[in-house]
Structure 1
Amino acid sequence: MRLVQLTVPTGKRETILGVLDDREIDYVVTDEESNRDYTAVVYFPLPDPAVEPILDELQDEGVDDDAYTVVVDAETVVSRRFDALREEYENGDVETDRISRQELQSEAESLTPTFAVYSIMTIISAVVATAGLFLDSPAVVVGSMVIAPLIGPALGLSVGSVIDDEDLFKESLRYQILGIVLAIAAAAVFAWLVRVTNIVPPVLDISSVDEISERLAPDLLSLAIALGAGVAGIISIATGTAVALVGVMIAAALIPPAAAAGIAIAWGQPSAAIGSTALVLVNVLSVNLAGLLTLWYAGYRPENLFSLGETEQRVRRRVIGLAGIVLVFALFLGAITYSSYVVSTFEQNAQHEAEMVLSDEEFEEYLLLEFEVLMDDDYPFVGPERVIVTVGGPPGDAPPELADRLHQEINQHSDETVNVEIRYVSVVER
């Protein structure tokens, strides 16, 4: 429920009150004394779905943007006429659950902080995320998402496109580009400082840290996260629900991969930064695409109906453009996903082959103690580089035939030759 406070221009009092009477809306009017051309202030409660059509109708009657119109939450309204009004406008579909276009625009603008605050908070969140990745701490990484101010620009671009507010669209676009650059740059600088000061060993293999490695070679599931974040973000802002919590989800799609890209750059591995940077870009684009589609489906349109056709064409072009770019990135992520599947399949098949070799009667006195596959550094399309097979058996040297057999059987599952290292452990029974 909303309480609308509206200043009445001179000469429009009877017209505006007539609209409210025709709609059977309860109102209270107070006289206004000021040096502006307004004679009264009218207060009236409305169900959420009624705010936009009523304000549009009043604007058609002469209430322009220079007048003060304040819309605030109303906790409780006790009125039979209000109950009837609610039944008229609330029919249970998507459009009746959303806030008005005017409130949506105001909410999107309020979620974007000033340039200085946005820059500082983005840098801090990237630094915290980088520290969390080095520590391999999911809790710290989640903390970095909480302070990231990304939800405003991420949603403002979609809102500006749909309601034909090009200033909001352009500002949100600039903020998003700035946020990506700042996050990756801040993470790279912080990671470099951590490395040169030996806080983290310079020889650290970043692929050995789970929180980092999973973002250096992302898969298609990351695309689902970004699309879900975009839809949830728009629904939350359009219905006035928990926007802050959805902001954490949007930050989850952007800040950690940006930090991973910065770490890879600081470690002098630009190829390792390709996957995480692509993940940042596809997530940003997916959030915007999902936001555009969700807002249009929810029924938001520009205030001026004469610009509806032009706005619809503009939104359609942007949706098609975003969808095309996201599709390209999706193919790239799909290739990474397939590469990961091939590696996983090789690891399973190779271990099975090792177990089968050792189960032969010729090698029945030997036992597989450990099996490990080491990957190369060709990110984002990593592949098996070396296989370490630890075998236990009677004292003495392992027979050369065992190593040859393992090398042969394991390599039949790989397109390229994989080095197979046999570690032999003498087992003495007492």
Structure 2
Amino acid sequence: MLHLRLIVPADRTDDVVRLLEGTVGATHLIVMPGAAREPAGDVVLCDVAREAGDGLLGELRALGLDEHGSIAVDDIGLSLSKRADRAEAEAPGEGADAVLWEHLTDATHEESTLSVTFLAFLTIATMIAACGVVLDNAVLIVGAMAVGPEFGPLAGLCTALVRRAPRLAARSGVALIVGFVVAMVLTTGFSVLMDAFGLFSRDLLDADRPNTDFIWKPDMFSFVVAVLAGIAGTLSLTSAKSGALVGVAISVTTVPAAANAAVALGYGEVEQMVGSSEQLLLNLAGIVVAGTLTLLVQRWLWARRG
């Protein structure tokens, strides 16, 4: 269930109330006349089944509430109410299959913005992965993949392609490109510094690395895994099952590939640098293609059910 808190201009309250009363899956309607001060208006509260949420949000925006009032939506963790149970049963479809497009766009907008925090996480993850590839340490590689924040802008790019949102696409693309360039440049400097302290060496990079040499040797399995991870990651976002994102993060080698390319660049190892870059691009492409197709299929299935 979703909880909606609406600030409604007084002259539109009747329209909003009629809309909520006529929405299958909506219940627990509360109207508080004149309760809002900024912006001024009435406060309307209600609960709605998740599967009815996207259509309702679209109609509320059509009434101008996003411009002249406010629409706030929260997930309800627990609702002990027979009315709520009945509302969920009456709403068409299953809540787990419903996509809240407004929520998805808002969430990916925040996660795909280039910021100091995003750059810091991506750079730190790449440096951890650099230690992992030089030491052939799979634990460090997994840790680096879990820390990396790159799925946010990837999801933003998928959402932008499906919703035809050029601004979100541009923001996501800038975050990815600038983020990886900055992280790789700083990691190259980090590897040079580690070499100066005797902690990294060319011999370690060129030695047999049975645990991590796959990072710079891309093959079709790399693309297949990226596609599967893109599907799983998109489903975890649209179904609000964010726990699956951790598994997605440690399934693809975007950050380790960037790290291996950065270290190889520091030592002038062209073959490893090229291979790692191909691995990085292959993973990014696989996630974007799979994520976009997943969203398109979800939209098509939900439209047919509606």
Q: TM-score if structure 1 supplies the norm length? A: 0.64
* Aligned AA (1:170): A
Q: Tell me which residue corresponds to 1:206.
A: 206
Q: 1:77 to 1:35 in 2, by over 3 A?
A: closer
Other-structure match for 2:250 = 249
Which residue number in structure 1 is paired with residue 174 of structure 2?
A: 174
The equivalences for 1:330-349 within 5 A come to none
Residue matched to 2:304:
none
Counterparts of residues 39-118 of structure 1 (less than 5 Å):
39-92=41-94, 97-112=97-112, 115-118=115-118
Any conservation in 2 of the 1:128–1:140 contact (CA below 8 Å)? yes
Query: Which residue is 1:17 aligned to?
Result: 17
Whole-angstrom CA distance in 1 between matches of 2:212 and 2:96 = 43
Per the alignment, in what secondary structure is the counterpart of residue 272 of structure 2?
helix
Q: For the pair shown, which has the larger CA radius of gyration, 1 or 2?
A: 1
Rounded to whole Å, the distance in 1 between the matches of 2:150 and 2:281 is 14
User: CA separation of 1:192/1:300 partners in 2, compared to 1, >3 Å: closer, same or farther?
Assistant: farther
Q: Partners in 2 of 1:201 and 1:8 — Cα distance?
A: 65
1:248 corresponds to which letter in structure 2?
A
1:249-398 matched pairs, under 5 angstroms: 249=250, 252-299=252-299
Compare relative contact order (CA 8 Å, sep 6+) and give the higher one, 1 or 2. Answer: 2
- How far did residue 186 of structure 1 move? 2.9
- TM (norm. structure 2) is 0.88
Superposed displacement of residue 36, structure 1: 5.2
- The answer to whether the 8 Å contact 1:2/1:73 transfers is yes
Alignment of 1:94-243 (within 5 A): 97-112=97-112, 115-204=115-204, 206-243=206-243
1:319 corresponding residue in structure 2? none
**Equivalent-residue separation in structure 2 for 1:37 and 1:129 (angstroms):** 49
Name structure 1 gaps, 5 residues minimum.
Answer: 302-430
Distance 2:114 2:261 in 1: 26
1:35 CA drift (Å)? 5.3
Whole-angstrom CA distance in 1 between matches of 2:204 and 2:56: 63
Looking at structure 2, the residues matched to 232 and 182 of structure 1 have their Cα atoms a distance apart, in angstroms, of: 28
How far apart, in 1, do the equivalents of 2:248 and 2:179 lie? 14
Structure 2 unpaired stretches of 5+: 302-306
Secondary structure, aligned partner of 2:256: helix
> What is the DSSP-based 3-state SS (H/G/I as helix, E as strand, rest coil) of the residue aligned with 1:210?
coil
1:341-389 CA distance string (max 9 Å, x none): xxxxxxxxxxxxxxxxxxxxxxxxxxxxxxxxxxxxxxxxxxxxxxxxx
Number of residue pairs the alignment of both structures matches: 298
Change (3 A) 1:42 1:231: same
> Deviations along 1:52-102, whole A, 9 cap, x unmatched?
11122233344343421111111333444433332233434xx86234111
CA contact (8 A) 2:108 2:152 kept: yes
Q: Greater share of helix residues, 1 or 2?
A: 2
> C-alpha distance in 1, partners of 2:51/2:77?
16
What is the rounded CA distance, in whole Å, between the counterparts of 1:246 and 1:239 in structure 2?
A: 15
Measure, in 2, the Cα distance between the counterparts of 1:49 and 1:106.
18
Aligned partners of 2:267 and 2:116: how far apart in 1? Answer: 29
Q: Using the alignment, how far apart are the partners of 1:45 and 1:205 within structure 2?
A: 57
Deviation at 1:139, TM superposition (A): 0.9
**Considering only aligned residues, what root-mean-square deviation do their CA atoms show, in Å?**
2.4
Specify which of 32, 43, 49 is matched with residue 30 of structure 1. Answer: 32
1:111 Cα deviation from its structure 2 partner: 2.7
Q: Give yes or no for contact 1:101–1:300 (8 Å, CA) kept in 2.
A: no
Give the distance between the partners of 1:62 and 1:149, measured in 2 at CA: 35
Cα distance in 2 for partners of 1:184, 1:211 equals 21
